[in-house]
Amino acid sequence: MGRMPILARHAGNRRNGGCGPRGFCPVDRPLPVFYMVDYSVMGFLVDRLDDALRSLNDEGFSIIEEPWGSEIVVESPARTGEIVRLLEERGIACEMADVVGGMYQG
């Protein structure tokens, strides 16, 4: 399936506290060569980012650190549900959301 960003629900913490309202800096992430109208990136928003990354790593999920933030390697759509369940079982609030706001090609 690919890679999905994981970031703190509230920007300003020490990890992924970038330029966007949710701490994601789309300026740093390469855009597709061709995209039409709205541009979205689905990702995970968590309340305790460091704990979430540690938990996912402990469970064998690959985490890749990029200049724009952390990304989880997701092998299939079913794994997204596993990620949410795993984090919630560990008391980490997690939701899937569009992590890029305001990207529009007119």
Per-residue pLDDT of the chain (106 residues; tens, 9 = 90+): 789 999 888 754 444 444 544 455 555 566 666 655 566 778 899 999 999 999 999 999 999 988 778 899 999 999 999 999 999 999 999 999 887 765 555 4
Token pair, residue 104, equals 């529009």
> What is the residue range of 15's domain?
2-105
CATH number of the domain where residue 44 is located: 3.30.70
CA distance 77 to 67: 25
Collapsing DSSP to helix, strand or coil, 55 comes out as helix
**pTM across the whole model:** 0.74
Provide the number of structural domains found in the chain. Answer: 1
